[in-house]
Amino acid sequence: MLSVRTLFLNIGHFLDHYFMLIFATAAALRLTAEWGLTYAELIPYATPGFIAFGVCAIPAGWIADKWSREGMMSIFFIGIGLSSVLTGFANSPVQIAFSLAAIGVFAAIYHPVGLAMVVQGRKKMGIPLAINGIFGNMGVACAALLSGFLIDTTSWRSAFIISGLVSVCVGIAYLRFTLNTACSINSASEEKTSDKVMEPASVPRGISIRVVAIIFFTTAIGGLVFQSTTFALPKVFAERLTNLAGTATLVGWYTFIVFSLAAFAQLVVGYLIDKYPVRIVFATVAAVQCVFFILMIQTDGVFALLIAIAFMLAVFGQIPINDVLVGRMVKSEWRSRAYGIRYVVTFSVMASAVPLIAWIHGNWGFDSLFGLLAFAALLIFTAALLLPDLSDKREALETGNA
């Protein structure tokens, strides 16, 4: 039964990122022409959704810890699906902004709740979080692919409506599963006690403060990098792969290929952070980002496609690192709230990244954006070098006593 629950959690991560990026493709490839707005004018309407994505993470985590993680996941599936259907009926930028905000409210549930369930009862968290992360990144990839296909074959509205109905069906199946197993919808107290045996030793205060500060700093900068690359890549390819991608479907396919290949970097990074010091793995991933963001400046054609694969490998590979650090530093009964705080930081920065992308693209183009991202990756590299050599809390304790 645990494997079935894990499958539902992984599907949830897929849908979470999928719904948050349908609009990115629709705006880049169809809505600009349909609504008579430029790309820079249109994409800020996605901002309310990303603000809700961040702000609502803390209350979602608090409710899950106090009430039920299983119950909150049921609300996630059904709520985000119905909100997506609503978005498909929007007739103006203002209407779509409100609808995307509703998607963001329900999307905010997943990370504080779903990730706490994924790491529940585990000492080695890298591989489970990496596999879960692959599903999330495949959601990013499929948002571009399926949206592009549906734009060419039917309309942008179908991307929201059909996907929303699928999510509602998954939510009903998940609710039936939870009601038909020992994991009842009011099992929050059981969840808290089930993995107490896995709690490692306490961390010295000085080590805790340093690691938490690094987590929040790299979370903020990493959110900017992740949002800028995943949101803007369809438009980047539309501009720079003109000889390779002449239709929305082809742009979607190339974006899908890049995101799909890059998604599996999380599995490699998850394995490495279970085996080696997080500091070394983290710094290496950030260094790779910095190098390839610089190489992407003034690059187009096949070379741009290859560089995009390289920097997305590093961007996606970074995702499980902070989640592992949170899982190691925080007790089970606090994890939903801790992940909620972590993702408030992430998604608040992601929300601000949307108008930033519009402003930079409208004034200087994507070369300036990649220059900014290279500097951001350099900051992450520097912060990662300040981490203690942690493999778990016991190693942190030894480091603090050294």
3-state helix/strand/coil string of 283-352 = HHHHHHHHHHHHHHCCCCHHHHHHHHHHHHHHHHHHHHHHHHHHHHHCCHHHHHHHHHHHHHHHHHHHHH
* DSSP per residue, 129-182: HHHHHHHHHHHHHHHHHHHHHHHHHS-HHHHHHHHHHHHHHHHHHHHHHHHTSS
- Residue 342 in contact with residue 326, Cβ under 8 Å? yes
Q: Is 166 exposed, middle or buried (0-12, 13-18, 19+ CB in 10 A)?
A: middle
Q: What is the pTM of this model?
A: 0.70
Q: What percent of the chain has pLDDT over 90?
A: 30
H/E run at residue 1 = none
Rounded Cα–Cα distance for residues 272 and 125 (Å) = 11
- The total number of residues shown for the chain amounts to 402
Residue in the structure block whose two tokens are 């499958």: 7
Rounded Cα–Cα distance for residues 394 and 397 (Å) = 5
Which pLDDT belongs to residue 358? Answer: 84
Which pLDDT belongs to residue 186? Answer: 45
In the chain, which stretches have pLDDT less than 50?
A: 1, 183-201, 392-402
H/E run at residue 74 = helix 69-87
Q: Is 198 helix (H, G, I), strand (E, B) or coil?
A: helix
Q: Which of 121, 123, 8, 113 is nearest to 66 (CA)?
A: 113
Token pair, residue 179, equals 């009601």
172 contact partners, CB below 8 Å, separation of at least 6: 78
User: What CATH number belongs to 2-401?
Assistant: 1.20.1250.20
In the chain, domain spans: 2-401
Q: Is 124 exposed, middle or buried (0-12, 13-18, 19+ CB in 10 A)?
A: middle
The mean of the pLDDT values for the chain is: 82
pLDDT tens figures, 167-192: 999 999 999 998 887 544 444 444 44
Q: Is 186 exposed, middle or buried (0-12, 13-18, 19+ CB in 10 A)?
A: exposed
280 contact partners, CB below 8 Å, separation of at least 6: none
- Residue 247 in contact with residue 152, Cβ under 8 Å? yes
Which pLDDT belongs to residue 189? Answer: 45
